[in-house]
A and B are shown apart, each in its own frame.
Chain A
Amino acid sequence: MEEINNKKNSMHLGTYFEKYGMLLLLLVLFVICSLITPVFLKPGNLLNIARQISIIGIVSIGMTLVILTGGIDLSVGPILACGALLVAGLKEYGIVAAFVGPLIFGLCAGLLNGTVITKFKVQPFIVTLGAMSIYTGLGLTYSKGHPIIGTPEMLRFIGQGKVFGVIPFQAILFISVAIIIAIILKYTPFGRYTYAIGGNPEASKLSGINVDRVTIYIYGLSGLLAGFAGIIMATHLNVGEARLGTGMEMDAIAAAVIGGTSLKGGSGTIFGTVIGILVIGILSNLLNLINVPSYAQMIFKGLIIVVATVLQGLHDKKSV
Chain B
Amino acid sequence: MSDILVMKNITKKFPGVTALNNVTFSCKKGEVHALMGENGAGKSTLIKLLSGASTPTSGEIFFEGKPLKAKTPHDVQDLGIAIIHQELNLVPNMNAVENIFLGREIKNGQFVNFKEMKKRSQEILRSLNIKINLEVPVRKLSVAQQQMIEIAKALSMDASFIIMDEPTASLTNNEIDALFEIVCSLKEKGVTIIFISHHLSEIFECADRVTVLKDGEYIGTKDIDEIDESSLIRMMVGRELSEIYPDISSVNKTPILEVKGLSRKGVLDNINFTANKGEVLGIAGLVGSGRTELARAIFGADKIDSGVIKIDGKEVTINQSIDAMKQGIGFVTEDRKSQGLILGLTIRENICISLLKSITNKAFVNKYKEKEIANRYIKSLKIATPSMEAKAVNLSGGNQQKVVLGKWLARECRIIILDEPTRGIDVGAKVEIYNLMRELSNNGTAVIMISSELPEIIGMSDRVLVMREGRINGELTHEEVTEEKILEYAMGGCN
- A residues 256-309 near B (Cβ < 8 Å) are 266-267
Of B331, B343, B367, B387, the contact of A206 (CB 8 Å cutoff): B331
- B residues 331-348 near A (Cβ < 8 Å) are 331, 333, 338-345
Q: Say yes or no: B356 contacts A189, CB within 8 Å.
A: yes
B299 interfacial contact with A, CB 8 Å: yes
The 8 A CB mask of A201-232 against B (1 = contact, 0 = none) is 01111111110000000000000000000000
Of B17, B338, B349, B363, the contact of A192 (CB 8 Å cutoff): B349
Contact residues in A for B333 (Cβ distance below 8 Å): 203, 206
Q: Say yes or no: B342 contacts A196, CB within 8 Å.
A: yes
How far does the alpha carbon of A11 sit from the alpha carbon of B364 in the complex, in Å? 27
Contact residues in B for A204 (Cβ distance below 8 Å): 342, 353
Q: Say yes or no: B386 contacts A200, CB within 8 Å.
A: no
> Interface size bucket, A side?
20 to 34
Looking at the assembled complex, report how far the CB atom of A312 sits from the nearest CB atom of chain B, in whole angstroms: 15
Contact residues in B for A187 (Cβ distance below 8 Å): 364-365, 367
Contact residues in A for B407 (Cβ distance below 8 Å): 207
Q: Say yes or no: A267 contacts B344, CB within 8 Å.
A: yes
How far does the alpha carbon of A10 sit from the alpha carbon of B16 in the complex, in Å? 9
Q: Say yes or no: A202 contacts B338, CB within 8 Å.
A: yes
Q: Say yes or no: B16 contacts A266, CB within 8 Å.
A: no
Contact residues in A for B301 (Cβ distance below 8 Å): 205-206
Q: Say yes or no: B390 contacts A11, CB within 8 Å.
A: yes
B321 interfacial contact with A, CB 8 Å: yes
B103 interfacial contact with A, CB 8 Å: no
Contact residues in B for A105 (Cβ distance below 8 Å): none
Of A3, A192, A199, A210, the contact of B322 (CB 8 Å cutoff): A210
Given A3-B16, A206-B333: A192 and B365 interface contact (C-beta under 8 Å): yes
A169 interfacial contact with B, CB 8 Å: no
Q: Say yes or no: B299 contacts A206, CB within 8 Å.
A: yes
Looking at the assembled complex, report how far the CB atom of A197 sits from the nearest CB atom of chain B, in whole angstroms: 9
Contact residues in B for A205 (Cβ distance below 8 Å): 301, 321
Q: Say yes or no: B16 contacts A200, CB within 8 Å.
A: no
Q: Say yes or no: A6 contacts B16, CB within 8 Å.
A: yes
Q: Say yes or no: A199 contacts B342, CB within 8 Å.
A: yes
A4 interfacial contact with B, CB 8 Å: yes
Of A3, A189, A266, the contact of B17 (CB 8 Å cutoff): A3
Q: Say yes or no: A206 contacts B321, CB within 8 Å.
A: yes
B360 interfacial contact with A, CB 8 Å: yes
Looking at the assembled complex, report how far the CB atom of A130 sits from the nearest CB atom of chain B, in whole angstroms: 26
Q: Say yes or no: A207 contacts B364, CB within 8 Å.
A: no
Chain A: which residue is nearest B359 at the CB level? A189
How far does the alpha carbon of A203 sit from the alpha carbon of B342 in the complex, in Å? 7
Looking at the assembled complex, report how far the CB atom of B28 sits from the nearest CB atom of chain A, in whole angstroms: 36
Of B341, B353, B386, the contact of A8 (CB 8 Å cutoff): B386
Looking at the assembled complex, report how far the CB atom of A268 sits from the nearest CB atom of chain B, in whole angstroms: 10
A195 interfacial contact with B, CB 8 Å: yes
Contact residues in A for B16 (Cβ distance below 8 Å): 3-4, 6-7, 10
Q: Say yes or no: A7 contacts B386, CB within 8 Å.
A: yes
Contact residues in B for A209 (Cβ distance below 8 Å): 353
Of A6, A207, A210, A267, the contact of B354 (CB 8 Å cutoff): A207
Contact residues in B for A207 (Cβ distance below 8 Å): 321, 353-354, 407
- B residues 362-381 near A (Cβ < 8 Å) are 363-365, 367
How far does the alpha carbon of A200 sit from the alpha carbon of B345 in the complex, in Å? 10
- B residues 87-119 near A (Cβ < 8 Å) are none
How far does the alpha carbon of A304 sit from the alpha carbon of B57 in the complex, in Å? 38
Of B322, B325, B338, B354, the contact of A200 (CB 8 Å cutoff): B338
Contact residues in A for B365 (Cβ distance below 8 Å): 187-189, 192
Q: Say yes or no: B353 contacts A192, CB within 8 Å.
A: yes
Chain A: which residue is nearest B361 at the CB level? A187
How far does the alpha carbon of A267 sit from the alpha carbon of B15 in the complex, in Å? 25
Q: Which of B17, B333, B344, B367 has the most CB of A within 10 A?
A: B344
Chain A: which residue is nearest B352 at the CB level? A192
Q: Which of A203, A205, A209 has the most CB of B within 10 A?
A: A203
Q: Say yes or no: A206 contacts B339, CB within 8 Å.
A: yes
B69 interfacial contact with A, CB 8 Å: no
Chain A: which residue is nearest B387 at the CB level? A8
Given A3-B17, A196-B345, A196-B353: A203 and B340 interface contact (C-beta under 8 Å): yes
Contact residues in B for A192 (Cβ distance below 8 Å): 349, 353, 356, 365
Contact residues in A for B341 (Cβ distance below 8 Å): 200, 203
Looking at the assembled complex, report how far the CB atom of B317 sits from the nearest CB atom of chain A, in whole angstroms: 16
The 8 A CB mask of B1-22 against A (1 = contact, 0 = none) is 0000000000000011100000
Given A192-B365, A203-B339, A209-B353: A4 and B345 interface contact (C-beta under 8 Å): no
B126 interfacial contact with A, CB 8 Å: no
B357 interfacial contact with A, CB 8 Å: yes
Contact residues in A for B344 (Cβ distance below 8 Å): 195, 199-200, 266-267
Looking at the assembled complex, report how far the CB atom of A203 sits from the nearest CB atom of chain B, in whole angstroms: 5
Q: Say yes or no: B356 contacts A4, CB within 8 Å.
A: no
Chain B: which residue is nearest A10 at the CB level? B15
The 8 A CB mask of B318-336 against A (1 = contact, 0 = none) is 0011100100000101000
- A residues 176-200 near B (Cβ < 8 Å) are 187-189, 192-193, 195-196, 199-200
Q: Say yes or no: A189 contacts B357, CB within 8 Å.
A: yes
How far does the alpha carbon of A206 sit from the alpha carbon of B299 in the complex, in Å? 8
Contact residues in B for A6 (Cβ distance below 8 Å): 15-16
Given A6-B15, A209-B353: A203 and B338 interface contact (C-beta under 8 Å): yes
Contact residues in A for B387 (Cβ distance below 8 Å): 8, 11
How far does the alpha carbon of A174 sit from the alpha carbon of B360 in the complex, in Å? 27
Given A206-B321, A208-B322: A189 and B345 interface contact (C-beta under 8 Å): no
Looking at the assembled complex, report how far the CB atom of A103 sits from the nearest CB atom of chain B, in whole angstroms: 21
How far does the alpha carbon of A189 sit from the alpha carbon of B364 in the complex, in Å? 7
Given A8-B386, A205-B301: A199 and B345 interface contact (C-beta under 8 Å): yes
Given A7-B16, A207-B353: A195 and B342 interface contact (C-beta under 8 Å): yes
Q: Which of B342, B343, B349 has the most CB of A within 10 A?
A: B342
Given A192-B356, A206-B333, A207-B407: A199 and B343 interface contact (C-beta under 8 Å): yes
Looking at the assembled complex, report how far the CB atom of A68 sits from the nearest CB atom of chain B, in whole angstroms: 11
How far does the alpha carbon of A216 sit from the alpha carbon of B299 in the complex, in Å? 24
Chain A: which residue is nearest B358 at the CB level? A189
Chain B: which residue is nearest A210 at the CB level? B322
Looking at the assembled complex, report how far the CB atom of A118 sits from the nearest CB atom of chain B, in whole angstroms: 13
How far does the alpha carbon of A4 sit from the alpha carbon of B17 in the complex, in Å? 9
How far does the alpha carbon of A208 sit from the alpha carbon of B365 in the complex, in Å? 17
* Additional A-B contact list (15), CB under 8 Å, known A192-B365, A206-B339: A3-B17, A8-B386, A10-B16, A189-B365, A193-B353, A195-B342, A195-B344, A200-B338, A200-B344, A203-B333, A203-B340, A203-B341, A205-B301, A208-B322, A266-B345
Give me the 7 closest cross-chain CB pairs, A-B, nearest first.
A6-B16, A189-B356, A199-B342, A7-B16, A199-B344, A208-B322, A187-B364
Could you jot down 12 A-B contacts, CB within 8 Å?
A3-B17, A8-B386, A188-B363, A193-B356, A195-B342, A199-B343, A200-B339, A200-B341, A203-B341, A204-B342, A207-B354, A208-B322
Question: Which A residues contact B (CB, under 8 angstroms)?
Answer: 3-4, 6-8, 10-11, 187-189, 192-193, 195-196, 199-200, 202-210, 266-267
